[in-house]
Amino acid sequence: MTRKYFGTDGIRGRVGEQPINAEFMLKLGWAAGRVLGKGGCGRVVIGKDTRISGYMFESALEAGLSAAGVDIRLLGPMPTPAIAYLTRTLGACAGIVISASHNPHYDNGIKFFSADGTKLPDDVEAEIERELEADMVTVPSERLGKAVRVEDARGRYIEYCKSTFPGRLNLRGVKIVVDCANGATYQVAPSVFKELGAEVTAIGVNPDGLNINQGCGSTAPEGLRERVLAEKADLGIALDGDGDRVLMVDHTGELVDGDELLYIIARARAGNGKLSGPVVGTLMSNLGLELALQGEGIAFLRANVGDRYVMEMLQAHEGMLGGESSGHIICLDRTTTGDGIVSALQVLAALVQSGSSLQTLRQGMSKFPQIMINVPLAERVDVTGNTVVLQAVKDAETVMNGKGRVLLRPSGTEPLIRVMVEGENESLVRQQAEHLAEVVAQTVERQIKSA
């Protein structure tokens, strides 16, 4: 489906540029209220991360929803998965998240959840886009929506996260460093791990509206690695700005990515007889994950990149566990969407139950060298079907001689084309990735000039 505003993960862009401006958000709130408030369920929850622009967009969305006759429940700074959870438990007809996830502070975006805490279907997003083209008409004054702040939102979500950790276990004796990326988890994540008994050192918990994801969190884990070593911690947990992704660091300072975390959780679930259906990864998932799961007798499927596609494949094949290399992991036996804190707790449960370290548990999977290069776009153009680019991909695959993979794809959230090459020989993989990235960059430049 061709959509004007919605991408693979809501609506996202640079603050102040169309459509990420106050005027559009007012209209979006009204259009969403018209569509999502149908059927008599006139309540929508709004949460946000710690970007300074969140205040502006929260007010604009609130005004638009009110003009459509929909009541609003304001959650304040809360992780994206918390909004999904609270949408369900507060009986709302939808949830709205104001966040650009792992992007810098100057970006922002809007994500929606349905009444059951899942991403909106394509047809509902299309209906909202149709309403955006209509003239905005405010309901009569007696029908205007009212806004109320939910004072206990944080406590509700903390208790929910703790409930996903096995009740007979605790984290006493486990020393953790948690990096909250100066984002939406800064008031929640440290409390969750502390209340389960862990000794916690928290970093990235001083947001100022501008420092979200800035040299911290899952997109920049070097500071976490250094702190884990300095504190002699058992492990480190790196969350992203809105809390739906997690990466970890073992006690030696080695990064443990989403593929390895997914393997650890899947192996633990299978060992307890609690894994149903296949594990779902994406086209970007490391080949080592697929081979390691096969070695455990666990089926593995690949979806298109994006958590909505992982979710669709899980539902189609009655699976319960899937995720992406970036650390966006979906545990459908615990929650309805990717949740960094909940995913980390599942890994910690596997560690406690096995009595092993994170370093030991990750050793069951051997990663293939994988190089990804982001080619920035001055304009949004897709050259992945260009004949010159396709020939370069074919040539790279020939050089790899059947012992590797090549993937080009436009980012769904940023103006980039991602070039990924994976194989047994790291130097060959890097060489082919750099060559392909150069071909793509040159093709993009030629296409823009000829437009």
Task: Please identify every residue annotated as catalytic.
Answer: 101
Helices (H), 153-286: 153-163, 189-195, 222-231, 258-271
Going by C-alpha positions, the residue among 121, 103, 100, 102 that lies closest to residue 111 is 100
Cβ–Cβ < 8 Å for 432, 426: no
Q: What is the number of helices (H) and of strands (E) in the chain?
A: 14, 18
Direct distance between the N- and C-terminal alpha carbons of the chain, in angstroms, rounded to an integer: 24
**Torsion sign, CA atoms 16, 18, 24, 29:** negative
11-14 sheet: strands from edge to edge:
11-14, 107-114, 94-98, 43-48, 71-77, 147-149
Helix axes of 153-163 and 80-89: crossing angle, nearest 10 degrees: 100
Q: Distance of CA 189 to CAs 156, 282, 447, Å?
A: 13, 27, 46
Q: How many CB atoms lie within 10 A of CB 155?
A: 11
What DSSP state is assigned to residue 50?
A: S
Three-point CA angle 369, 254, 231, nearest 5° = 170
DSSP output for 82-118: HHHHHHHHTT-SEEEEE--TTS-TTEEEEEEEETTSS
Distance CA 97, CA 48 (A): 5
205: its two tokens: 């918990």
